[in-house]
Every structure is written in C-alpha cells, then in structure tokens.
Structure 1
Amino acid sequence: MLPTSRGPQVGLLGPVQVVRGDGVVPVPAPKHRVVLAILAINSGRPVSADRIIEELWQGSEPKFARKTLQGYIWRLRRVLGEDLLTRGGGYELRGTPQGTDAARFERLLAEGQRALRTRAPSLARERLDAALALWRGPALADVPAGPMIRAHADRLEEARLLAVEAMLEADVELGRQAATIPVLRELTAAHPLRESLHALLMLALYRSGRQVEALSVYAGLRATLISEQGLEPGRAVRELHRRILAADPALDCAL
C-alpha cells in the first residue's frame, strides 16, 4: 500500500487502484482504468483529449468520443477530486512526489543502485527490499493495453527485474551467495541472454566453492549467445570467466 499523504495516491504496480486516507477506492470500469493509468503515467503533465481517445479506442473511437471521455473524467473526479485538472484541450493529474507507487519504486531503486555503487550493500538491500515490496502483481495488470500502457508496463517490469538483480547482487556482496543461487538459476533460465544475471550466478557459485559449475554457466551462456545472436559474451563476463579460471583471490572478497 502507498504511504499516506495529501490527496489520493495511484497504484500502478499491480491492478490499478486509488488509495485515499480511508482505504482503497475501486475503479471498476476498464475504460476508466485506462484514463486513470494514462493520467498517472503522465502525472504532473497535461495529456490531450485526442491522445487519451487514441489510447482508449485505438482508431475505432465512437461518434461521441469526446463526450464519452468527459463522462469518464467526471466519474474519476469523484475519486481524485481537485487533483484531476482540466488543462486546455486535455487533462492532468496533479503531480506529487509520492503520487504513484511507481514513482516511489523508481526512487528507491535508484537509491539502492547508488548504494551498491558506493559499496554499501546493506543499505542497498534495505532500499531494494522496500522497492520490491510495493509490487502487488504485474504492472498495470487490469488495464486494457494500448501502445502507451503497454510500453509503460514493459518499462516498469524491466525496472522490477533490475531491482531483483540488484538485490541479489547485494546479497552476494554480503556473503549470502548460497541463498541466491536457486533464484539466479531460475532467472537465468527465464532470461537466457541476460549476461549480467549469468555473471552474478557465476560469482555466487565461485564464492560457494563451486568453480566448475561457475565455468559451466559461462559455457552455457556463450553457446546460447553464439547460437541466438552470433555474438561472444561481453567484455565484463569474459573478464569474470578469466578470473574464475585463474582462481583470482580478489573474487573471494565480499563485504
């Protein structure tokens, strides 16, 4: 659930919802959820009526599309109140720092990634755990997907995977590599071309005393990349492979 603050909060990390001080307000109509999602994605920026209509009906709008949209806005305004503004030929959801769970998630993700870069894995894990706890299911799960919705949902899901990967990296740096290995096995199977996940699995295996398995992960990745893309692994993974082959003592250094 989103933190309490002035005005309603919009949840995008799962089924779309509006959270007010007294609880969750349902938005049962699919078209209303589309309009709400568009405005929340563009929080703090006006969206033209034409753009909303295109997303709603994708070139098959009804004869009285603008009037229908005005009816949707009227109903949403009963939930969002003064935070739903009319701007010229369009509408705007008033932007606030915590106006959507997605905005809060992205802030926490950035803080976690920054903590990893500055060698503070405990802080990174705290921020990333908080970020991932905001998710209630697939992004925009119950919103009929037009181009804008689909692109934003895909972007959020990619950010979610980045957060999971960063949290696993923090765990490896904290010496918890044994617990990460089963999760990384699943993720590399689901994302066979994602080199960063394979590199993390290689490091976790190596730090668990499983050098041969770590080298096998590299061999599998290399074979897949050559078969699927005609490419060798990138420089970072090749360098990690070289250091594992050499049993570089520096690889054992977890914080």
Structure 2
Amino acid sequence: MPPTSHGVRLGLLGPLQVLRGDGAVAVTAPKHRAVLAILAINAGRPVSADRIAEELWQGSEPKFARKTLQGYVWRLRRLLGDDLRTRQGSYELSVASEETDVVRFERLLADGRRAVRDRQLTQARARLEAALTLWRGPALADVPATPMVRAHAGRLEEARLLAVEAVLRTDVDLGRPAAAIPELRELTLTYPAREPLHALLMLALYRAGRQAEALSAYGVLRATLIADHGLEPGRPVQELHRRILAADPALDRTDGRPDADQPSESIGRVASG
C-alpha cells in the first residue's frame, strides 16, 4: 500500500493491519481492534462516540461506557499519534480512504471488469489477479464482529468472490476451461445456490469436451434450488442448459468475442449457499 502523508497504511483485506513507516503497529486487545476497525472503515470521516459505543456493546453498555471508550482511544492514540483525532464528541482516523488496501482492490476490480466488458481479456485477468493478491485472508478476520464490521466484511467478501468469478470467466473465454474447472467445482460446493458460478462451471465443462458432466452440473443446481428454495434455475441458466443439450456450436467460441447469450457474473440470481 502506498504511504500516506502521515505514514499510516491500513489493511482490512485479512487480519486488521496498521503500518507506520517500515513496521507494523500491534493492536492486541480485541476491543481496541474493534474501535480501530470501525474508524478504519470510516477513514477520513468522524464517527461519534455514541455510534462506536453502540457498536461495541450493542445496547448493553457498561456503566462507564464513555470513559471506557475514551481509555481505548487513548491507548490507540499512543500507537497512532496525531492520525487519530478527537472532534467534538467524535473520533476520526485521518487516513484518506485512498490509502487503504480496500480502495486499491476496488479500483483494480473495476478496471478488470471494465476490461472484461471491452473483451481485453488478458489485461482483465492481470488486473483481477492483482486485485486478489491484496487479500491476506478473510476480511477483518481478527476483529470482533460488531454489526458494522460484520456488514463491511460481508460486502468485501462478496466483492472478492466477484473478482474470483471474473478471473475464472477470463480463463474460460481465453480457451483454458480445464484450468478453471477444479476451482469452480469447489466454489459451487461452497455456494450451492449461486447460479452464475454453476453456469460458468457448465460452460467450462462443455468447452473442455465434457458435455455429460456439464448437463449433470445443471441437474445438481436444479435439484438444490428446488429442494432448498422451491425455485427453478433462472432463465439464463436454463437457456445455457438447452444450448449445451443441443451442442450449440456458438458455445465453443473462445476467441474473446462476446456472446450475449452466455450467462456472466452479472446475470441471473446470486445467492449464497
């Protein structure tokens, strides 16, 4: 991550990470990490003491909650110096959001998906891979799961999954379907109702010359959706199934040209399993 004018760099894509100069700042107490994570999520913007207290204790605040919170902030300020500021009943981590690994990831993901839309697939894959290398583990993995932390980590994990899907889609469209199949199989087990993943697995199997397995993958998805949600697969996946069943020659195209009838990561219902 590039240094800020204050010398602080933040990492949220994994365990909470704070770097100053050439070294890491150790924040060992769970409640301290929670406060710092809340401020990091809102980097460059003040967060009221009341909001932080509600996040930490969720309606069960101790008798001296405000004083306790002030103690947490005092200890964090000893580590972070003037980068942690007090502003009229609020606290602010004065690190611009652009200086976090989250914003770098989001920019690379946006660039990669834009390149996919423009069918610049080799460039797209490089950008998407660069985005994924910023991850060090589950988002905010070592931070107590306050409502704000949990929601933010969930959004980040969804964006990470979109990046993974897009990388695998470029492999399939660049004529390397067999390379994508093992990871797609694992992902469809992890997210059994996520239709774009199943559609991509079906397409990869078909392009790898495994038509029967592609049709079987559709059967697994359909059975799961009916059993768990009382739903049939969405129309794009049904259409892909029909085309695989008919051995549509257009499905074999791997020259990077778009095929509007193929499901992509942005088409169809997206549901976690």
Q: TM-score range by the shorter chain?
A: over 0.9
Equivalences for 1:12-91 in 2 at 5 Å?
12-91=12-91
2:120 matched to 1:111?
no
Q: Which range moved further: 80-89 or 173-182?
A: 80-89
Equivalences for 1:119-130 in 2 at 5 Å?
119-130=119-130
What is the CA RMSD across the aligned residues, in angstroms?
A: 1.5
Q: Which residue of 2 aligns with 1:142?
A: 142
Q: Which residue of 2 aligns with 1:94?
A: 94
Q: Which residue of 1 aligns with 2:3?
A: 4
CA contact under 8 A between 2:38 and 2:52: conserved in structure 1? yes
Q: Find the aligned partners of 2:104 and 2:97 in 1 and give their Cα distance.
A: 8
CA contact under 8 A between 1:115 and 1:124: conserved in structure 2? yes
Q: Which residue of 2 aligns with 1:171?
A: 171
Q: Which range moved further: 227-236 or 88-97?
A: 88-97
2:198 matched to 1:184?
no
Amino acid at match of 1:4: P
Distance 1:99 1:78, change over 3 A: farther
| Residue 95 (structure 1) shift | 4.3
Q: Which residue of 2 aligns with 1:211?
A: 211
CA contact under 8 A between 2:27 and 2:33: conserved in structure 1? yes
| Residue 62 (structure 1) shift | 2.3
How does the TM-score come out when normalised to structure 2? 0.88
How does the TM-score come out when normalised to structure 1? 0.94
Q: Which runs of 4+ in 1 moved over 6 A?
A: none
Amino acid at match of 1:25: V
The aligned length equals 254
* SS in structure 2 of the partner of residue 19 of structure 1: strand
Residues 93-139 of structure 1: CA distance to partner in whole angstroms, max 9, x if unpaired?
Answer: 22425322122212211211111111111111111111111111111
* SS in structure 2 of the partner of residue 86 of structure 1: strand
Q: Find the aligned partners of 2:157 and 2:109 in 1 and give their Cα distance.
A: 13
Q: Find the aligned partners of 2:174 and 2:67 in 1 and give their Cα distance.
A: 57
| Residue 232 (structure 1) shift | 1.1
Q: Find the aligned partners of 1:216 and 1:127 in 2 and give their Cα distance.
A: 33
CA contact under 8 A between 1:9 and 1:98: conserved in structure 2? no
Q: Find the aligned partners of 2:155 and 2:238 in 1 and give their Cα distance.
A: 28
Q: Structure 2 stretches of 5 or more lacking a match?
A: 257-273
Q: Which range moved further: 158-167 or 69-78?
A: 69-78
Q: Which range moved further: 94-103 or 26-35?
A: 94-103
